[in-house]
Homo-oligomer: A and B are copies of this chain.
Amino acid sequence: MKVTIIGLGLIGGSIARSLKRSGDVCITAVDNNEQVLLDAVSLGVIDRKASVYDLEDSDVVYLCLYPDAALEFTEKNKNRFGKNTVLTDVCGIKTYIYPKLKAIADEAGFTYIGSHPMAGKEQSGFSASDASLFYGASYIIVDNGENNEAVGILKELALRMGFGKIVFATSDEHDKAIAYTSQLPHVLACAYVLSPMCSKHDGFSAGSYRDVSRVADINAKLWTELFISNKESLTDEIDTLIKNMEAFKSLIKEGNAEELKAVLQNAGDNKRKYG
């Protein structure tokens, strides 16, 4: 098995580390930062720096770049992918990127399948990458159902990386779900730490402050792209949240204990039921 990773950041680096640990696989990689490639080779995380020829005979190429950079790389190198190479991206949005990458792949005659490893950290870069980042996490595959063999290869590799669950979704289902499960908590965390009270939390805060603010240590460039590429679903979720918060605000202001308790109970029931 031969794999090429484009971009050895948090996700690309973690793919390399986890696959390398799982056994026999040849890994080549591309990164703008030469030092990262040297480090990755000396740590035994990749076999060597990739050349353009490696796109030809890799079983899988993982595009671990920001959305626009992923499109640009693929467009530029479309004629270098082998007919049996499976290209997959790891972007956090799909409606924006899936049809574009699919069109390039179809035109050039190789297979593209979307994927999204549902794991992350507030830190970024190769030095934050981790062989156990994906343990037990969910691996989402976006595919039109025509590529059973290629999907099989991606699934096998995902299991070798330690993923605990493999889920299929359309681009649209993916983006609606992600708007809620991932993008909204990032917007929330950032809105939260912009309160003037943030500077005074020390000594007065504990777990709930820590948890809601964790992802505010954000990669601004990446998330700007992700938020704007999924604006419709995300602003819908922001609206729902604001509406729910306004309802809480009214009940608290009125001192309506009975109703407030019922709504809190309802929220608690949801959390206990859906996890």
Q: Which of A8-16, A59-67, A244-252 contacts B (4 or more CB under 8 A)?
A: A244-252
Contact with B along A161-174 (1 / 0, CB 8 A): 00001010100001
Identify whether the interface residues of A are mostly helix, strand, loop, or mixed.
Answer: helix
| Residues of chain B lying within 8 A (CB to CB) of residue A215 | 207-208, 211
Tallying the copies of this chain within the complex gives: 2
Does A127 touch B at the CB level, under 8 Å? no
Contact with B along A210-233 (1 / 0, CB 8 A): 011111111111011101100100
In the complex, the answer to whether B208 meets A180 with C-beta atoms within 8 Å is: no
Of residues 242 to 275 in A, which have CB atoms within 8 Å of B's CB atoms? Answer: 242, 244-249, 252-253, 255, 257, 260-268, 270-275
Residue of chain B at shortest CB distance from A275: B202
Residue of chain B at shortest CB distance from A180: B197
Known: A185-B211, A264-B224. A271 touches B193 (CB 8 A): yes
Chain B: minimal CB distance from A6 (Å)? 22
Residue numbers of A with Cβ under 8 A of B are 118-121, 137-138, 140, 165, 167, 169, 174, 176-182, 184-209, 211-221, 223-225, 227-228, 231, 234-235, 237-242, 244-249, 252-253, 255, 257, 260-268, 270-275
- A-B pairs with lowest CB-CB distance, top 4: A190-B267, A191-B244, A177-B204, A180-B197
